[in-house]
Structure 1
Amino acid sequence: MGISHGLASHHLRQLGKYGFVRQVEGVDNRERPWQLQHTSLSADGIEDQPGGAEALAVLEQLVAERAVAELNGWQQRRASWPPTWRRHSGVTTNSIYLTEAELAELTETFDALLARYLEQRPIDDLASRPPGSRAVNLTLIVTPQDPTAAES
């Protein structure tokens, strides 16, 4: 990784403290492997905490910037990928009128669909990956819009 063992251990312990990774049993006393606990991120309830709104804004900005960087990388690699991968990758955008309940249903359905794949194929379990599968990054950005003057 290009960092000292001590520094790596410190960062892994910090990630473990917050539930991102956990230490698992190694083959001997010298080996101390860590296992990834989560491959998804949700900030549910963070706004209710002191400083939560500010933390959420920073988190959302970082996630959006990472998604844009991933897209830029994909645009540079796209031509080298097979047509089916290209056809089902990239950006999709829609504007739709939804109620609060419909938006909740839509995002819960999206999350449930992804959860099915995440549970079947833990990111660190090579044996669970189907032949031909590749890592795919998905970012859902939902932004309710303020009413226009005509809608008010």
Structure 2
Amino acid sequence: MPEPHRRLSDPRELNALAHPVRMAIIELLSVSGPLTATELADRLDETPANCSWHLRKLAQHGFVVEAEGGKGRQRPWQVPGLGFHWDDEHASASVEERRAAQALSEVTMGRAMDRLRESEERMPDEPEEWRTAQSGIEMVAWLTADELKEMNDAISAVLDRHVERLTDPSKRPAGSRLCEFVAWGVPTYFPGVEPA
């Protein structure tokens, strides 16, 4: 299985990913395996030339590599590993790093919100088993920093339970579909509500 996470801190790397087309390319290569610029263009409603240009930019930072089995325009590309980790509020980070990390977070979360909206629009046409299986959860709770970290770690462990299915199709049960979970556990700020 590919390395599950790559730690990003260089503002140039963060900025290279903080582009909707580049993030879409990374996402598609992560869930579909090797694809050519032409195949990516068809799926993303972009031109092959535009996808080739973005692939080269991603390759400069090691986010994508050439896969075996192609030449010239039929070169497939792949991701060398799954997932990235970055901090947009790390205390020792430079202003430039924090700004670049925040831009990447906004692109990533914006894409996730777009997929949520599309899923909600399509939900009435889904079979009942999929309509009843989906869920949205939002909550607030009074927690200590240790409790917040414990909950985030527990959620991460649950979300990582089936990560090998992304790279090994033989582990995907019959009838399974690609599903998305987005979670964050952060201190939140309500007007007039102070820490206990």
**Superposition deviation, residue 77 in structure 1:** 0.9
Partners of 1:45 and 1:62 lie apart in 2 by 13
Moved more, 91-100 or 141-150: 141-150
Instruction: Tell me: CA distance 1:132–1:34, structure 2 relative to 1, closer, same or farther (3 Å).
Output: same
Which residue does 2:174 correspond to in 1? 131
Which residue does 2:33 correspond to in 1? none
Query: By percentage of residues, which structure has more helix?
Result: 2
Which residue does 2:131 correspond to in 1? 86
Q: Does 1:122 align with 2:166?
A: yes
The aligned runs of 1:1-150 (5 Å cut-off) are 1=41, 2-5=46-49, 7-26=50-69, 29-30=71-72, 31-44=74-87, 47=90, 48-118=93-163, 120-123=164-167, 125-146=168-189, 148-149=192-193
- Give the match's secondary structure for 1:138: coil
Gaps of 5+ in 2: 1-40
The residue identity in structure 1 corresponding to 2:117 is N
Over the matched positions of the two proteins, sequence identity in percent amounts to: 27
**Superposition deviation, residue 46 in structure 1:** 6.9
- Give the match's secondary structure for 1:65: helix
Equivalent residues of 1:71, 1:90 under 8 A apart = no
- Relative to the length of structure 1, the TM-score reads 0.75
Instruction: Tell me: CA distance 1:76–1:150, structure 2 relative to 1, closer, same or farther (3 Å).
Output: closer
Instruction: Tell me: CA distance 1:21–1:87, structure 2 relative to 1, closer, same or farther (3 Å).
Output: same
- Give the match's secondary structure for 1:34: strand
How many pairs were matched up?
A: 148
Instruction: Tell me: CA distance 1:128–1:46, structure 2 relative to 1, closer, same or farther (3 Å).
Output: farther
Q: Spell out, residue by residue over 1:55-106, the C-alpha distance to the aligned partner (whole angstroms, 9 max, x if none).
A: 2332333333223322221121111223332223242111112211221222
Larger RCO, structure (CA 8 Å, separation 6 or more): 2
Which has more radius of gyration?
A: 1
**Superposition deviation, residue 144 in structure 1:** 0.8
- Relative to the length of structure 2, the TM-score reads 0.61
Runs (4+) of structure 1 exceeding 6 A deviation are none
Instruction: Tell me: CA distance 1:37–1:87, structure 2 relative to 1, closer, same or farther (3 Å).
Output: farther
Superposed CA RMSD = 2.8
